[in-house]
Structure 1
Amino acid sequence: MFKKFTKEDIHSRSNIKSSVQRGLKSKFLEQFPKLEPAIDNVIPKKSQVILIKCEDKISLYYVENEVVLFQHFDDLVPSLRTVHKYPDCFPKVQVDRGAIKFVMSGANVMCPGLTSAGAKLPEESLPKDSVVTIYAEGKENALAIGKLTMSTDDIKSINKGIGIELLHYLGDGLWKLVE
């Protein structure tokens, strides 16, 4: 999604009202309930949230000099910087070592990369279209964020095709936007 993203893809910037900010926080919490203890650190009450509208109906929410989350249609997705600060607040999957170079180049994650020996899927079943953070075997921090194209149960049983559609990864346009 952000593979070729640059500052030229930004159309407008505007400050959002505090009422809109409260709605954004509650919707984000609805999607990621484990974020409850940290939500006031992610989007502080007295801070100004800036909405940045971009190409392809992507909206970035910018707080205190960094993008904390983005929205694509109805999905609110944390940025990798937010995930690195609060790693336990988001659902995790782990890919095997062989998938790292492909994920880092922006490729979607295939099912075999999620079911092989070094990979891990969560214990509880996650439904299709869930936003997940992607970790790699032997690595401490998340390397990408994606959206499941099928439930985790289906990934285990079918084990073919694309398992996760990649949304944001280390080194993509959104990651470089703040550097």
Structure 2
Amino acid sequence: MFKRFSKDDVSSSSQVKSSVQRGFRAKLLEQFPNSEPYLEDILPKKGNVTIAKCKDRVSLICCDGVPLFFQQRDGHIFPTLRILHKYPNMMPTMRVDKGAISFVMNGANIMCQGFTSKGGRIDTPLEAGAAVCILAEGKKVALAVGQTTMSTADIQSVNKGIGVDNLHYLGDGLFGTKELD
């Protein structure tokens, strides 16, 4: 999604009202209940929150010009990897084996076998369409952010096909963008 992303892909940016910001915070807490202890640090009530509209109907939620979250159309909200590196427990995680790391770093979707092999791990039962943080075997920081294409039970039982759509990964254009201003 963000493989060749740059600041030029932002078509417009607008500051949000405090009521919209409250709604966004409520949606974040609903989607990521583990983020409650540090939500004020991530998205301060007095911060300058803007929404940047990009190509492919993607919106970036920024605070003081720094992209913190992204949303495609009106779907799930996903944190950027910079936020996940600071607050790694805010969303459910899945771990891929060492063999999948190079493919994920090139933007490939993650196959079921990457989670069910010896180095892979699925900790939390999730439904299809859930937002998930992708960790790598032997690494401490998040490798990617994705969305499950099937439930974790199906990933383990079927063990074929794409298990997670890779939406944002280390080294893509969004990860390289520190500020939009």
* TM class by smaller structure: over 0.9
Q: Give the corresponding residue for 1:64.
A: 64
Give how far 1:65 is off: 3.8
- Structure 1 runs not aligned, ≥5 long: none
The percent of aligned pairs where both chains have the same amino acid is 51
The alpha-carbon deviation at position 135 of structure 1 amounts to 0.4
- Alpha-carbon distance in 1 for matches of 2:95, 2:45: 33
Other-structure match for 2:164: 164
Q: Name the aligned partner's letter for residue 120 of structure 2.
A: A
d(CA) in 1 for partners of 2:166, 2:51: 23
Q: Does 2:75 correspond to 1:78?
A: no
The structure-2 alpha-carbon separation of the partners of 1:178 and 1:41, relative to structure 1 and needing over 3 Å to count, comes to: same
Task: Indicate the SS of the match to 2:122.
Answer: coil
Normalising to structure 1: TM-score of the pair? Answer: 0.97
Alignment pair present for 1:89 and 2:90: yes
In structure 2, C-alpha distance between the alignment counterparts of 1:65 and 1:41, rounded to whole Å:
15
Q: Structure 2 matches for 1:88-107, cutoff 5 A?
A: 88-107=89-108
How far did 1:64 drift?
2.8
Give the match's secondary structure for 1:87: coil
Following superposition, the deviation at residue 33 of structure 1 comes to 0.7
Task: Show the counterpart of 2:13.
Answer: 13
Partner SS state of residue 138, structure 1: coil
Match of 2:30 in 1: 30
Aligned to 1:110: 111
57-66 vs 149-158, greater mean Cα deviation: 57-66
- Give the alignment of 1:128-139 within 5 angstroms: 128-139=128-139
Given the two structures, how large is their TM-score scaled by the length of structure 2? 0.96
Aligned length: 178
> SS state of the match for residue 60, structure 1?
strand
1:125 CA displacement = 1.3
Q: Provide the secondary structure at the position in 2 that maps to 1:30.
A: helix
Contact 2:50–2:65 (8 Å) recurs in 1: no
Aligned to 2:4: 4
Deviation at 1:8, TM superposition (A): 2.0
**What CA distance in whole angstroms lies between the structure 2 residues aligned with 1:65 and 1:56?**
20
1:48 & 1:5 partners in 2: Cα distance? Answer: 23
CA RMSD of superposed structures (Å) = 1.0
User: In 2, Cα distance between the equivalents of 1:7 and 1:35?
Assistant: 28
Task: Describe the SS at the equivalent of 2:62.
Answer: strand
Residue by residue over 1:99-120, the C-alpha shift from the partner in whole angstroms, topping out at 9 and shown as x without a partner, is 0000000000000011000010
Q: Which amino acid aligns with 1:150?
A: M
Alpha-carbon distance between aligned partners in 2 of 1:82 and 1:40, rounded to the nearest angstrom: 13
Alpha-carbon distance between aligned partners in 2 of 1:113 and 1:70, rounded to the nearest angstrom: 25
Q: Distance in 2 between matches of 1:2 and 1:15?
A: 23
Task: Show the counterpart of 1:126.
Answer: 126
